[in-house]
């Protein structure tokens, strides 16, 4: 009964978190672009562009992008409101993006998976915020080809600090993992640029893999890179077949790294044990 109650609480709480993640996914790229513009203007000593309104994760309040009316609390209930409103704004009847209930549902499902796997533990307390952060990174990278440092860098350090207590791996595995994760993708990108004369991978991918190296240790990096590459190749080919992308259009790699890294953290030991048994080494 205690475990059931725990899972129910995690499910309800994660739905609310998912609603907040939607805000972060939409607003953080805009906030970063405004910040970069301001920094560029200061560097070039140009007259700064004045923001007409305050814009952050709290202000302005949630509103319809079409009619600009504030969304009342009764219309902000995760998933339920979307279903009752039939995916339309209660005021102007314009369609609400399917991304909002999808993010809430994904957040709930993944959070419950973490809770079921690790129970009431330190691992669950650590992995839940990481899971929520990865959801944000996946959707932002798909839409903007951006993996914000403001998310990846703090979680990289958190992974290193957790290794002191041996939560997921020991300090040496975490330190080597962070360094190897960054340098391995950096080297691939550097060689690609030498050969092709163009950028083939963003630095956000280096930092994301370094973050997973800090959390799970260097031993998981080959698995993460292999699974991310395989998944990315399959999705990329499907997009090309469906003519959603052209060969010249960049395809984000971060979402596939995030998926593979999360799987490695949740089921990595089970997967490695099954592999060793399959090849007769255990």
Q: Tokens for 254?
A: 């971060």
Give CA–CA dist 77/12, Å, rounded: 11
Q: Tokens for 119?
A: 């129970």
Q: What's the pLDDT tens digit per position in 56-106?
A: 888 888 877 778 788 888 888 888 888 888 888 888 888 888 899 999 999
- The conformational region for residue 93 under phi > 0 = left, psi -120 to 50 = alpha, else beta, is left
Q: Tokens for 222?
A: 């080959």
Q: How much is the pLDDT for 199? A: 74
Query: Where do we find the tokens 């953080």?
Result: 28
Sign of CA dihedral 192, 198, 204, 207: positive
Q: How much is the pLDDT for 86? A: 85
Q: How much is the pLDDT for 281? A: 60
Give CA–CA dist 201/252, Å, rounded: 9
Cβ(1)–Cβ(7) under 8 Å? no
Q: Which of 190, 195, 208 is nearest to 253 (CA)?
A: 208
Task: Give Cα 54 to chain centroid, integer Å.
Answer: 26
| Residue 5: CB atoms within 10 Å | 9
Give CA–CA dist 117/120, Å, rounded: 10
List the chain residues with pLDDT less than 50: none
Q: Tokens for 160?
A: 């290193």
Alpha helices in 44-73 (DSSP H): none
Give CA–CA dist 136/213, Å, rounded: 19
Q: How much is the pLDDT for 72? A: 82
Burial of 3 (0-12, 13-18, 19+ CB in 10 A): exposed
Q: Which of 111, 99, 116 is nearest to 16 (CA)?
A: 111
Q: Which of 147, 269, 257, 264 is nearest to 209 (CA)?
A: 257
Q: Tokens for 211?
A: 């973050």
Give CA–CA dist 123/159, Å, rounded: 11
Q: How much is the pLDDT for 1? A: 64
Query: Where do we find the tokens 């991310």?
Result: 228
Give CA–CA dist 208/182, Å, rounded: 8
Q: Tokens for 117?
A: 């796997």
| CA angle (61, 142, 268) in 5-degree steps | 110
């Amino acid at each position: 009964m205690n475990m059931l109650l725990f899972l129910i609480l995690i499910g309800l709480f994660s739905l609310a978190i998912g609603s907040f993640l939607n805000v972060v996914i939409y607003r953080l790229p805009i906030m970063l672009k405004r910040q970069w513009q301001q920094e560029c203007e200061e560097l070039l000593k140009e007259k700064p562009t004045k923001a007409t309104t305050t814009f952050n994760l709290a202000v302005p309040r949630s509103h319809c992008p079409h009619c600009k009316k504030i969304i009342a609390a009764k219309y902000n209930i995760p998933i339920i409101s979307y279903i009752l409103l039939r995916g339309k704004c209660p005021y102007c009847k314009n369609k609400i993006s399917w991304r909002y209930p999808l993010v809430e549902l994904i957040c709930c499902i993944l959070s419950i998976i973490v809770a079921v796997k690790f129970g009431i533990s330190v691992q669950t307390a650590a992995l839940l915020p990481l899971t929520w952060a990865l959801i944000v990174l996946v959707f932002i990278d798909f839409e903007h080809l951006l993996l914000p440092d403001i998310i990846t860098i703090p979680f990289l350090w958190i992974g290193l600090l957790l290794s002191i207590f041996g939560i997921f791996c020991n300090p040496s595995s975490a330190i080597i993992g962070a360094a190897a994760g960054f340098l391995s993708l950096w080297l691939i990108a550097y060689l690609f640029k030498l050969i092709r004369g163009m950028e083939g991978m963003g630095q956000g991918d280096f930092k994301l893999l370094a973050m997973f190296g800090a959390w799970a240790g260097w031993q998981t990096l080959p698995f993460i890179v292999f699974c991310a590459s395989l998944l990315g190749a399959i999705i990329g080919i499907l997009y090309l077949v469906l003519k959603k992308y052209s060969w010249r259009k960049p395809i984000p790699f971060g979402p596939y790294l995030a998926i593979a890294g999360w799987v490695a953290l949740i089921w990595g030991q089970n997967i490695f044990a099954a592999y060793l048994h399959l090849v007769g080494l255990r």
